Amino acid sequence: MEIERIGTQASKMTIIAWFAGLAYYNWFASTPISAPLWGHIILVIGGMFFASVVIGGGLALISAAITKMLTGRQDGSPHVFAWAAFIGIVPAFFAAKQGLLLFQ
């Protein structure tokens, strides 16, 4: 049950990092990336799912594989999943820049 709680928190943190990346690269950067309004709508709605499912889910799968190698069970220890929650923030933040560049 603890791994599910960590996964929920990781998903929330990844989505927050996605929105923080959008805000930074669109408004607060020294050279902001401008995108049309429809592009922003797609990035906000679609990016939320992308960040949570692709980045968060991918890291969860990698964490399960590492945990299985170390403990013999995919749910043997929550520690790798907890580290993946913190690691997932970084690619979500930088993926927002790539998303904005896609709609530039």
The rounded mean pLDDT for the chain is 90
Distance CA(58)–CA(78), nearest Å, equals: 16
Give the separation between CA 9 and CA 81, rounded to whole angstroms: 11
74 neighbors 68 (Cβ within 8 angstroms): yes
How many C-beta atoms lie closer than 10 Å to residue 103's C-beta?
14
Number of domains, the chain: 1
**How high is the pLDDT of residue 8?**
87
Nearest in space to 62 (alpha carbons), one of 50, 80, 48:
80
Whether residue 1 is predicted with pLDDT greater than 80 in this model: the reply is no
pLDDT tens, residue by residue, 69-83: 999 888 888 888 889
Residues 54-81, mean pLDDT to the nearest whole number: 89
User: For the CA atoms of the chain, what is the radius of gyration?
Assistant: 15
Q: Range of 41's domain?
A: 2-103
> Tell me, what's the pLDDT at 34?
86
